[in-house]
Structure 1
Amino acid sequence: MLKQLAPLLPYAHRYRGRIAAGLGLVVVSNLFSLAWPYLLKLAIDALERGIAIAGLAAYAGAIVAFSLIGGIGRYFMRQLLNGMSRHVETDLRDDYFAHLLRLAPDFYQRVPTGELMSRATNDIPAVRMAIGPGIMYLVNTAVVSVIALTMLVLIDPRLTLLAILPLALVPVATLYFGREIHKRFEAIQAQFGRISTMAQENLAGARIVRAYVQEDAQARQFAQLNREYMGRNVRLARIWGLFHPTLMLLTGLGVVIVLGVGGHDVIMNRISIGDFVAFMFYLMQLIWPMIALGWVINLFERGAASMRRIQEIMTEEPSIRDVERTLEIAVPQGAIEFRNVWFRYPGSERWVLRDISFHVEPGQRVAIVGRTGSGKSSVVRLLPRLYEPDRGEILLDGVPIRQLPLPRLRGLIAMVPQEPFLFSGTLGANIAFALRDGHDQARIEEAAKIAQLAETIREFPQGYDTQLGERGINLSGGQKQRATLARALTRDAPVLILDDALSSVDTHTEAAILHGLEDVLRRRTSIIVSHRVSAVKDADLILVVEDGAIVERGVHSELVAADGVYARLLRRQLLEESLDAERGVA
């Protein structure tokens, strides 16, 4: 358990002053709070001897004063230690989120989003409870136990020995139940992760679920996961339900022994009534930490299980990271070269790209075309190092991209992905996402104009301040693609990649966008991936990809004359457009 919580030490070290002050207050507050039973003993003994009202009032005042000081100390103790745990929780969540952003796409192919969300929302708070309330009550238990046991021994060593005999079994019971709680809590957290994953996937794919009329089937599957989650919680509740009564039984035996033996000693005048009353109070003060120890162990077991789950993610090394000695490009031009590149996705044996080689001069427009699944999108995913090639080399301005710092490399590339992604927030903020030097409304509006989105935005009542739902769900597919294109255009990068970025817009809008891009493309090196030949016919170089290899290359007229794969794609698309036009007339 302690080994699993060890990664928290650097976080706790940042707040060592708070921790030291808080633990100091634990000791001081308990010294004052536990003084009143002894003062009560003195008062009772004085009553037996006959004491004046003034003397009795002095004892009462001292008890109130000591209790008040102890209470104030406990207030600040909680403020310091629980506040420290909140800071650690915030730091840990920040580091967890930042670490997730550094991980490569292959990680997210292995780990469901719901599992990651479960760790952020469920496991991190469990860790906070261990490092805050857990430590506070553990130290409090230790201090109270030492003070109470010391006072018991001072009052009557023989009675103390008899009273604590049953308590010797408490550590044994705690060890056994603690292990069972830890094991069952880990199972609960794992099941909660599965529930989170299913909920996240179904909410994100709500349209697909409804389109295939799978609402009832998905609800039944979720209900099954939920029942399993409830069952695991019930099993934890059973073991926890046994733990508390077991501790109460063992500690209760001590009270019975004191009542019998101690009461007899009072009758026989071996100890005073004051001693007996104080002894009972200190015994109860000793018993309560023993009972609380079960709750504290539960906190630590839960925290350890959760920290292990968090560390499973935090110890994941990014598969793509900077090399030790990086290079720099003084004046980026945008020259791109692929040299004998081979690539397959992590975990797959099939080559997606085979011996890809081509060269792009600064300012050139290169198009990559091919059938669906031919590997054309995989080519452009390698350039910003979203994935690493298995063989070969990719260069930008003559520098191998592996030797460029990742932030610098990706800062030189503006990419419009195949699947548009928009964040919750305003439409304007989404377009401005790529801007590094703050919100620039003029650049946002210019980018929207080039992307043929400006007119659409003007139709919205709130314009650029229009709030988008999750993933831009309140926009059409074409509007989302144009918004992501506008976002890329706000970045003045020397390389622009359009990965089938206009697939959801009609041919008329596509032509208008490409016309608007003419000036932008003249100033940048651009790679356009498209399944539409009409979008790439004006490119300086067209690469035709088939089964992961470049099978043809050249300009539009050359490839048409060659009457190969490109020409067949062109004829098929012209036929489809002709049929669509006839259906429109009909």
Structure 2
Amino acid sequence: MTKAFKSAWPYLRKYKRGVLLGLGALILKDIAGAGIPLLVRSGIDAVTNKQPLSTLYWFCLGLVGVSLFKGLFQYWMRVILVGISRDVEYDMRNDIFRNLVRLNHDFYSRYRTGDVMARATNDLNAVRMMLGPAVMYWAETSLTFILALSIMFTVDWQLTLWALTPAPVVSVVVMVFGKRIHDRFEAIQELFSDISSRVQENLAGVRVIRAYVQEDAEIARFEELNKRFIAQNLKLATLSGLFMPLLQALIGLTFMLVLGVGGLRLMQGKISLGSFVMFNTFMGMLVWPMIAFGWVVNLMQRGKASMSRIQEYLQQEPSITAPAHPKAMPETADIEFQAAGLSFEGRAVLDGLALQIPAGQTIAIVGRTGSGKSSLVQLIPRIYDVTSGAVLIGGVDVRELDPADLRRQIGFVPQETFLFSSTIAENIAFGVESATDEEVREAAAIAGLAHDIEEFPDGFQTKVGERGITLSGGQKQRTAIARALLRKPKILILDDALSAVDTITEERILHGLRNQSGSRTTILISHRVSTVRDADCIYVLDEGRVVERGTHAELIATGGYYAELHQKQLLEEELEQI
């Protein structure tokens, strides 16, 4: 538990003043609460001692005043301490998101989206409950116990010892059940992550599920997960169902001892009627703290389990970071791969690759599936770093540059086009906050998207839905190309970004890119010869190495893989025309 609060301390520290004010209100509220039984005792003793009735009125007026005082500070205690737990939740959620967007691909290959969402929502709420209500009630119950027992010991230490007889049993029960609740809640949170991941994957892949008629199979899998989740929750409910009644039984035993032993001592004249009533009033006051203590233990154990899960994310560091003293971004955009190697889990993807791309040229990369084309271009914006060799831009190793500065100079359209659930205009302008409507339209026109947008009812303000679900594959690709062009990058990378458009649209887009290229370095990856044939140089990759290089005409004359690909696609075109 100490570890959990140590992890949370940096968040609580900034609210020290508020915590102290909240604890001050809590102390004043508990002191006022402890004064109520004392006033009750004095009032009853005044009546039994046949003092004037006016004295009783004053005691009654005092009870009203103390109760109002207690209520006022109880209000501020809750507002301040629970409010701070909300502030901590806000800060922690921001830190989780901030860290998540900094982390690299290797993190997301190990953790599922559903698990990330579960920790950022359900676990975070459990931590808030631990730092807010749990801490507040723990402090409140502890101080109430100390004040009540101190007064009770002063009045009759023997009766107080009888009242404390069940305390060791309560401690054992709390420790045993606390550990089991912690373990059970941790298992529940893991299952909740599994359910979140399953829902997220099914919603994202709903078209595939329908295409393969897997609705019933996925429903069955979800039901099985849900059944396990409910089973674990029922086990936790069973534990809680045993824990709370057992705690209440022990509280009842304490009442029974106070009534029995206290009544006997009253008849023996060892305590006054007022003191006897005061003892019972204090026992009534301690009922809620005893029950709350069990609830607090439950919240603490849940919060501890969730805090460890959140800390696992917060302690993750990005594998690709800016150097301590980054170099300035070079003016020229010539790119050189010097014996570049890249491996994943011991498997070589690129092997000693040597490649030079002069600034301002358009080069193309072709090759069989899995030959390393996408991995090659992902080394340029440092999505991955080489495991051997180096990648240079303008003669500077990219690892000596700040990744943020580097990526601002690159327009990258990956194989898997991703659009946000906003308007077309907002998707195109993503990353360029100062973009004007005219610049957005110009980028859309170069990407061959302007005509399509004109046919949409809301034009550029058309909502594209989650991941651009309302657009066709070609429209999504062209929106992503327009987004990359709007950045006016020094380096433009199109990774199979024209695969979903027809050859006529493709030619129009490529023509627009050539007219607008200027000093920009452009890298095209494609399986289509029509996409790459006009490139200044074409590189053919196989098993992470360059096996052919040259212009379209040179590679056709060589008669290698590229020539075979060209011949095959010519044949396909002839067959389509028959």
| Range class of TM-score, shorter chain | over 0.9
Partner SS, residue 348 of structure 2: coil
Residue 538 of structure 1: CA displacement?
A: 1.1
Distance in 2 (CA, whole Å) between partners of 1:422 and 1:578 is 36
Partner SS, residue 351 of structure 1: strand
Residue 439 of structure 1: CA displacement?
A: 4.1
Q: Quote the residue 1:373 is aligned against.
A: 370
Deviations 1:72-124 (A, max 9, x none): 10111111111111111011111101111111111111111111111011101
Stretch of structure 1 that moved more, 188-197 or 310-319: 310-319
Amino acid at match of 1:332: E
Q: Quote the residue 1:363 is aligned against.
A: 360
Is the CA contact (8 Å cut-off) linking 1:451 and 1:513 kept in structure 2? yes
Amino acid at match of 1:394: V
Q: Would you say 1:575 and 2:571 are equivalent positions?
A: yes
Q: Quote the residue 1:135 is aligned against.
A: 135
Residue 309 of structure 1: CA displacement?
A: 0.7
Correspondences of 1:324-473 after superposition (within 5 Å)? 324-329=324-329, 332-345=331-344, 347=345, 349-435=346-432, 437-473=433-469
Is the CA contact (8 Å cut-off) linking 1:451 and 1:485 kept in structure 2? yes
Structure 2, unmatched stretches of 5+, are: none
Amino acid at match of 2:408: G
Distance in 1 (CA, whole Å) between partners of 2:491 and 2:482 is 15
Q: Would you say 1:263 and 2:267 are equivalent positions?
A: no
Distance in 1 (CA, whole Å) between partners of 2:67 and 2:4 is 38
Distance in 1 (CA, whole Å) between partners of 2:398 and 2:380 is 8
Correspondences of 1:162-241 after superposition (within 5 Å)? 162-241=162-241
Partner SS, residue 433 of structure 1: coil
Distance in 2 (CA, whole Å) between partners of 1:382 and 1:337 is 11
The percent of aligned pairs where both chains have the same amino acid is: 47
Structure 1, unmatched stretches of 5+, are: none
Distance in 2 (CA, whole Å) between partners of 1:580 and 1:54 is 109
TM-score (norm 2): 0.98
Distance in 2 (CA, whole Å) between partners of 1:563 and 1:472 is 41
Distance in 2 (CA, whole Å) between partners of 1:29 and 1:350 is 66
Q: Quote the residue 1:553 is aligned against.
A: 549
Q: Quote the residue 2:473 is aligned against.
A: 477
Is the CA contact (8 Å cut-off) linking 1:416 and 1:499 kept in structure 2? yes
Deviations 1:345-404 (A, max 9, x none): 3x3x33211221111111111110112222111110111111121111000111000000
Q: Would you say 1:500 and 2:500 are equivalent positions?
A: no
Partner SS, residue 320 of structure 2: coil
Amino acid at match of 2:413: V
Distance in 2 (CA, whole Å) between partners of 1:479 and 1:492 is 21
Stretch of structure 1 that moved more, 6-15 or 280-289: 280-289
Deviations 1:263-313 (A, max 9, x none): 122223222211111111112223431221111111111011001111112
Is the CA contact (8 Å cut-off) linking 1:115 and 1:196 kept in structure 2? yes
Distance in 1 (CA, whole Å) between partners of 2:262 and 2:520 is 93
Distance in 1 (CA, whole Å) between partners of 2:212 and 2:11 is 48
Distance in 2 (CA, whole Å) between partners of 1:370 and 1:440 is 39
Q: Would you say 1:294 and 2:291 are equivalent positions?
A: no
Distance in 2 (CA, whole Å) between partners of 1:335 and 1:145 is 74
Deviations 1:108-156 (A, max 9, x none): 1111111111101110110000011111111101111111111211221
Stretch of structure 1 that moved more, 391-400 or 373-382: 373-382
Is the CA contact (8 Å cut-off) linking 1:336 and 1:394 kept in structure 2? yes
Q: Quote the residue 1:38 is aligned against.
A: 38
Deviations 1:210-265 (A, max 9, x none): 11111101110110011000111111111111111221122211110111111122
Is the CA contact (8 Å cut-off) linking 1:434 and 1:490 kept in structure 2? no
Is the CA contact (8 Å cut-off) linking 1:45 and 1:273 kept in structure 2? yes
TM-score (norm 1): 0.97
Distance in 2 (CA, whole Å) between partners of 1:438 and 1:23 is 48
Distance in 2 (CA, whole Å) between partners of 1:211 and 1:155 is 79
Distance in 1 (CA, whole Å) between partners of 2:383 and 2:195 is 29
Q: Quote the residue 1:243 is aligned against.
A: 243
Distance in 2 (CA, whole Å) between partners of 1:578 and 1:301 is 70
Aligned residues: 578
Distance in 2 (CA, whole Å) between partners of 1:393 and 1:177 is 57
